[in-house]
Structure formats: structure tokens, C-alpha cells
Structure 1
Amino acid sequence: MLRNWQYRLMALALALACWYIVTGREKVQTVVEMPVEVVGARPDMLVLGGMADKIAVRVRGPRALVRRLEERRPAYSLDLSGLEPGETTIPFEAENVPLSMALEVVAIDPPGVTLTADRLMERELPVRPVWTGAPGKDYELVAATALPAEVRVRGPMAAVSKLEELATREVAVNATGQGEHVVRAELDLPRGLSAEPSAVRVAVEFAVKRKSIWLKLPVRVLPETLEGVDASPSTVQVRALVPLPLARAQDLAEQCMAYVLPPSGLEPGTHQMPVRIKLPDGCTLEKVAPETLEVRVKKK
């Protein structure tokens, strides 16, 4: 076997060369779909439109290599490092198609992409709660706030820079009576924007309605065991801010009191003293007429 080994090796090389020449002449064409893989994307840029998910590459070459290519399905790397705001046209280059040298790129469809891009912008924006509901005829809205009151919005500069606030999606507050009622609400985000957090709590506070009314109250001298002391005039006019349910009560005046409280050891004679008013819970004193009374202390 070792005799004339040089001739045997030469025969093997010639056989391989002949096989390569024969098979290499048998060239075929095919279309291979390749996914588009983005590389070099800048963190401060956003692609808004125009991106291709895949391309169709027409390839010509030896049948065996073309078959292997169809099985492998390589990806095309699209470099976005030079992307700027606005529209940018980037061609698909044949030399960037990942093929062996024995294969030839005949055509690429589409030949390129025209991308629309903008700079990425982040801002803190206040949240405006949007809600529906009714607390009842005797109650009114005191405050409607979002918790948190601000969120961080992220998106294209052209869209984010125009915003002054973000509204929530409309939520129903099914509650009656006074107090604070809290519900969860999603943010009503324009398309292409994101926010952190994407939902907030809407706190709606109701309070009882009040009305201003006048009351005529008799003046009492306290303590009632005190003898020889009286006040003039014997009645005062009181204006108070009263909750509506209480304002409708027929015994409201009986729940209020106007009085003077002379100090112990007060000398006989006439003295000017302020009138004091006691009102039920939830009422606010607005005015008293007169504000001072004549308190007469009789001689014993």
C-alpha cells in the first residue's frame, strides 16, 4: 500500500477536484427569508415606524450549499448606530448578508427601509383623576386627588413635550355619605407612551353640604344658680353655617345656646360682657348680634 503513494495521493486529489468542479457547475437560485436583527441601537432613540421584520434574499450558488442555507436561516444584522430624529433610509447591503463566499446575493426585497425615529424623553407629569358618581343630595365633592399625584412618562420627545398632565380612565365611585373613598384607575396614556406607575389610586372626598341660617336665641346667665344677675338684651341673633340635615330639624334652636358667664365676685352694677354661643357638632359660627351684652348685678 505504501508503494507509489505519491500517485495514489495525486489520484485522490484529482478525484476530489473533479467532484468539486462537477457539483460546482450545478448552480441554482432560491429565495431565503431572513429575520432582521437590530444592532447598535442607541438608548436615547426610539424607532416609531418603518421597521421590516424580515427580508427576502434571492441567492444563487451550488445546490448543496443552497440547501444548507435554507435549513440554517441566518439573520440579517441592521445597524442603527447612525439613526437620527426624523426619517432615515437604510439600504440592505448584499455584503452584510451572512453567506459563504460560494454563494451570490442576486437581489434583496425590500431593498431597504425608511425609518421614522425620535429622541426618547422622560418627564414627571401631574395626574388628573376622571370619575363619575353621586354622594347623595346632602353631600358635595371636597377634593378628588390621584395617589401618587405625579407619574414618570416615557416616550418620543414630540409627543411627551406637548403634555401638561395625564388623565386617568373614567372610574365609577359608588359611594354615598361623607368621607374619603378610594378606587384604582388606569392611566389614559396616548399611543406610544408608557408611564411608571401605569395605574394610580383616585381618592374622592365628600362632605355634607351646609347652609347659612339665622337663629334667634334666648340669653342665659350661667351658672343658673346665680341670683340677682340678668342680661340685656335677653335675646341675640346668631348666623351659623349648618349642615343641611340639621338645618331641616325643627328643634335646631333648642340644640343651640347663647349665654354669658359672669366671673365670681362681680361687683354690683352694669358690666359689658361678651356673649358666648354653643352650637351642635358640624356647625360654624359666622356672626352674633349683638356681640356684647349688658350684665346687671343687683345689690344684695
Structure 2
Amino acid sequence: PRGLISGINRQRITRTINLAKTTPGTIVIRNEPETIQFPRGVTVSRIQPTHITLLVDELVEKELPVQARTTGSPASGYELGGVVFEPQLIKISGPKAVVGKERLFTAKPIDISGLKSSKTFQVPLELRSALLELMGETVVTANVVIREKTTEKTITDIPVHLTGPESDRKVTLEPSTISVRALLPLSSRGNQAGLIEASVSTEGLSVGTHRVQVKITAPEEIHIIEAVPSAVTVKIGRSLGK
């Protein structure tokens, strides 16, 4: 009857497929009349399509790092110290055919032209079409570190100071000055030796001769490479008057 056929057109005729025991690969399922429920009184003469093809893939989950790309150069006298992303790892899950070979994500280029200080950017990822369909537009936070360029210098005749509890014991140092090899900002001027402090502690030392490591203190912008010598000889005598 025409009314019955019209009713079928308004209904959502579905077929249930059990995937409980499926394994990765291509599965071809034949559409048989008895596999689809039709209203009583309807006789099925033909089903189109005759087959359903399913591509079953393994579900893969990964956490991948983000690779930075930059364009341009910082202002004169400055350099790129690095790019730190937040989050550092991005979690992705999807079919093995899409996700399996991915090793990292690449962010769109960041323009660092003329920068004199660190800056934060919101940067989209560059995703191929299959990943874009899976993940959607994805944006990460990029913390771009800009630092002043440095030069290596050797600073000599830095006096070594004594620290520790006050005492009337006689204390001598050999040598009493040291040299320091350091990386300093190109803009550094004047007496850099005055910016670097060297000290040794006499705390806990008894009368006699000791080899003590020198402690170096310097501003954050100065990177100490080494001190020469790194340790000095401390001679401690008896208290005066004894």
C-alpha cells in the first residue's frame, strides 16, 4: 500500500552491526533483508547498497611535543634564548592510520623581529587535514625568551673575602685574589670585578691548614664559567694571646 511505503520513508530504518569481536582491517558486510527490521506487511525485493564496507583501525593515544619556528631577528645586541610552549606536550587520540606516525607538532612561525625582551604569543599549530579534522584548530602559548648577547671575559684580581664567626685567631689566605672567566652582557661597562664577589668560610675550621672552595656571587646577567683557582689555602693560627 502507498501509505505504508510513505510511512517507511518518514521512518529511520537502521541496521545494527556487532563490532565486539572485530580486529583492525577492512570488513565487508552483506545487507540481507532479514538483518533489517521493516514494518509488517512489507516485502523487500532488493536492498541498495548490497554491502557495507567498514574500515576498522586501532585507537592510538599519544602525548607529542611542539616544535618552534621563528622568523626575523631580535634587535641588535640581543638573541633568541629559546621558546617554551604551554602545554609542553599535547595529548592526541585517534586512528592509528592518522596518529601512528606523528612524532611532534609544528607551530606556525613566530615573528621575533626587533624584540629586546621576552614575550608571550598565542600560536596555532600547523596541522595536516586529517589531524585538523580530528583535533580542530589548536592554539598553544609560546613563551619566547630574548636575552642580551654576551661575550666571554677573564676578570683578574678579585679579592677573596673571609666569612664565618668572628674570632681573634689569625687567618691568612693563599692566594688572596683569584681570576674568574665569565660570560658578560655586551653592554657591560666599567669595573666588572666590582660586580663579582669571592669568599671562603672559616666556619667549623680548626687551627691548621685547609683547602677551601671559593664561593662566587655575581648578578643574574653574569654567567660564571670558572674560577681560577677554584679553591684557596686557608691557614688558621691560634687565638692571639695564647
Amino acid at match of 2:39: S
Residue among 110, 122, 131 paired with 1:171: 110
Amino acid at match of 2:38: L
Q: Which has the larger radius of gyration?
A: 1
The 3-state SS of whatever aligns with 1:76 is coil
Amino acid at match of 1:85: P
Range that drifts further, 150-159 or 76-85: 76-85
State the match for 1:188 in structure 2: 126
State the match for 2:200 in structure 1: none
Residue among 89, 94, 106 paired with 1:150: 89
CA distance in 2, matches of 1:281, 1:119: 51
Alignment of 1:79 onto 2:21: no
User: For the structure 1 residues 101 and 138, does the alpha-carbon distance in structure 2 shift closer, same or farther, using more than 3 Å as the test?
Assistant: same
The 3-state SS of whatever aligns with 2:28 is strand
8 Å CA contact 1:144–1:202 kept in 2: the answer is yes
Where in structure 2 are the equivalents of 1:101-112 lying within 5 Å? 101-112=40-51
Where in structure 2 are the equivalents of 1:227-242 lying within 5 Å? 241-242=183-184
8 Å CA contact 2:13–2:38 kept in 1: the answer is no
Alignment of 1:113 onto 2:30: no
Structure 2: 5+ residue stretches without partners: 160-177, 197-215, 233-242
Q: After superposition, give the CA deviation of every residue in 1:67-98 in whole Å (9 maximum; x if it has no partner).
A: 3333x233222414254311100122222333
Aligned pair count reads: 193
TM-score, with structure 2 as normaliser: 0.61
Q: After superposition, give the CA deviation of every residue in 1:16-44 in whole Å (9 maximum; x if it has no partner).
A: xxxxxxxxxxxxxxxxxxxxxxxxxxxxx
> What displacement does 1:281 show?
7.9
CA distance in 2, matches of 1:283, 1:91: 75
The 3-state SS of whatever aligns with 1:152 is strand
CA distance in 2, matches of 1:192, 1:278: 54
> What displacement does 1:176 show?
1.1
User: For the structure 1 residues 238 and 129, does the alpha-carbon distance in structure 2 shift closer, same or farther, using more than 3 Å as the test?
Assistant: closer
8 Å CA contact 2:124–2:137 kept in 1: the answer is no
State the match for 1:94 in structure 2: 33
Q: After superposition, give the CA deviation of every residue in 1:83-123 in whole Å (9 maximum; x if it has no partner).
A: 43111001222223332232222222221122212011212
Higher relative contact order (CA 8 A, sep 6+): 2
Amino acid at match of 1:136: A
CA distance in 2, matches of 1:168, 1:183: 11
> What displacement does 1:213 show?
4.2
Percent of matched pairs sharing the same residue: 27
User: For the structure 1 residues 74 and 202, does the alpha-carbon distance in structure 2 shift closer, same or farther, using more than 3 Å as the test?
Assistant: same
CA distance in 1, matches of 2:107, 2:13: 42
Q: After superposition, give the CA deviation of every residue in 1:195-219 in whole Å (9 maximum; x if it has no partner).
A: 59943211110111111246799x9
CA distance in 2, matches of 1:279, 1:148: 33
State the match for 2:141 in structure 1: 201
User: For the structure 1 residues 92 and 174, does the alpha-carbon distance in structure 2 shift closer, same or farther, using more than 3 Å as the test?
Assistant: farther
Structure 1: 5+ residue stretches without partners: 1-61, 220-235, 259-276, 293-300
8 Å CA contact 2:78–2:148 kept in 1: the answer is yes
User: For the structure 1 residues 127 and 240, does the alpha-carbon distance in structure 2 shift closer, same or farther, using more than 3 Å as the test?
Assistant: closer
> What displacement does 1:131 show?
3.2
CA distance in 1, matches of 2:142, 2:46: 58
CA distance in 2, matches of 1:237, 1:98: 91
CA distance in 2, matches of 1:278, 1:66: 90
Amino acid at match of 1:86: G
The 3-state SS of whatever aligns with 1:69 is helix
